[in-house]
Amino acid sequence: MTTTTTTTTPGTTPADGSPVLEASGVTMRFGGLTAVQNVDLTVGSGEILGLIGPNGAGKTTFFNCLTGLYVPTEGTVSYKGKVLPHRSHLVTQAGIARTFQNIRLFANMTVLENVLVGRHTRTREGLWSALLRGPGFKKAERESEERAMELLEFTGLTAKREHLARNLPYGEQRKLEIARALASEPGLLLLDEPTAGMTASETSATRDLVLAVREQGTAVLVIEHDMRFIFNLCDRVAVLVQGQKLVEGSPEQVQNDDRVVAAYLGTPFEGAPGAEEAAEVQAAEQAATAAPGGSDTATGRGRNDSEEGGKD
Ligand SMILES: Nc1ncnc2c1ncn2[C@@H]1O[C@H](COP(=O)(O)OP(=O)(O)OP(=O)(O)O)[C@@H](O)[C@H]1O
Ligand SMILES: [Mg+2]
């Protein structure tokens, strides 16, 4: 590595509940499609907040708006009271790190090198220092490596430090993504489906890892389809449906909310986003079935049966 470490303040925060992230009126349109509509969301320090919703609800798009990958059509995102710029490296530098729904690692680099890359926002290129490889450079390099090794220990990957990332089993690749994200010393970690494709024991280990991340002073916002994982882990849960925040509350409140059950089962409810269109389709289907020789092929497919939405 040709970077030197500076003493940039780590982003971790005492868990006093003060807002770490404040998203206000975030809207993202792609041409005629509104993927995220007027979403407000706050994550407090020391909090683990779950973000759930059917496929295509806009969860990943919302993450992309938070992390500067997309410039929201409307709305603002603030981190610890400061509005964030729409540049992903500046967002990381400010203190927000993320993992991706589709794992993004440097496949031909070792596990350790992947984590060292994650430290680059907390290091500064020192060209002369690097070229001359003076004592300052060597010390900084050693410190970076020590911190990376701590993170490998934390995520249980120490024994794999020299393995190429592409040779890791899937569950460990997801862990490595978390280790790399933590290398930037974030105050807020965003996880997009961290347990997708994991076995039950890997999922349980991921839960412990997220709790340990919070213990270390980093708030977490996590997208997941595994409801057991979400409801066992999160302090609060927000539900996105068709780009809009439908419900937000404790796991108990969300689990018992009829609108959430309806959204997942695809049953329209009064005032639901898209309920009018759904009612029209239902009426047309009923009319067709009632008519002599009418079709009886209505499938009753719910919203949750739709194809996966676009990925980041
Ligand atoms: N870059 C893009 N251009 C156009 N449309 C997009 C783009 N990214 C996402 N979309 C659309 O926005 C909607 C929301 O997609 P998004 O990937 O955010 O959903 P999601 O809630 O993350 O779904 P999943 O649970 O399947 O990951 C989808 O209709 C998707 O096709
Ligand atoms: Mg997604």
pLDDT digits (tens, 9 = 90+) for 156-165: 999 999 999 9
Q: Distances in Å between the alpha carbon of 163 and those of 88, 107, 159? A: 28, 10, 9
Most confident of 25-29, 264-268, 271-275, 303-307: 25-29
Q: Which atom of ligand 1 is nearest to the CA of 240?
A: 21
Q: Which atom of ligand 1 is nearest to the CA of 31?
A: 4
Strand partners, 19: 44
CATH class of 4-261: alpha beta
- How many A from CA of 145 to the centre of ligand 2? 33
Identify which ligand lies nearest to the alpha carbon of 51: 1
Say yes or no: CB of residue 61 within 6 Å of ligand 1.
yes
Q: What share of the chain is helix, strand, coil (3-state, %, to 5)?
A: 40, 20, 40
Is the whole model's pTM more than 0.85, yes or no? no
Say yes or no: CB of residue 60 within 6 Å of ligand 1.
yes
Q: Which amino acid is at 171?
A: G
Give the span between the Cα atoms of 74 and 87, in whole angstroms. 16
- Bigger pLDDT: 150 vs 132: 150
87-96, 131-140, 233-242: segment of lowest average pLDDT = 131-140
Say yes or no: CB of residue 75 within 6 Å of ligand 1.
no
Mean pLDDT of 288-305: 46
Q: Whose CA is nearest to atom 9 of ligand 1?
A: 310
Q: Where are the domains of the chain?
A: 4-261
Say yes or no: CB of residue 27 within 6 Å of ligand 1.
no
32-41, 111-120, 216-225: segment of lowest average pLDDT = 111-120
pLDDT of residue 133: 65
pLDDT of residue 283: 79
- How many A from CA of 73 to the centre of ligand 1? 15
pLDDT of residue 265: 67
pLDDT of residue 290: 72
Decide: helix, strand or coil at residue 235.
coil
Give the span between the Cα atoms of 33 and 112, in whole angstroms. 41
Say yes or no: CB of residue 54 within 6 Å of ligand 1.
no
pLDDT at 16 over 50: yes
Give the span between the Cα atoms of 126 and 147, in whole angstroms. 19
- Bigger pLDDT: 144 vs 162: 162
Tokens in use for 120? 């680059």
* Terminal Cα-to-Cα distance of the chain (whole angstroms): 28
Q: Say if residue 85 is exposed, middle or buried (CB neighbours under 10 Å; 0-12, 13-18, 19+).
A: middle
Tokens 């490595």 sit at which residue?
176
Mean pLDDT of 236-252: 96
pLDDT at 275 over 70: no
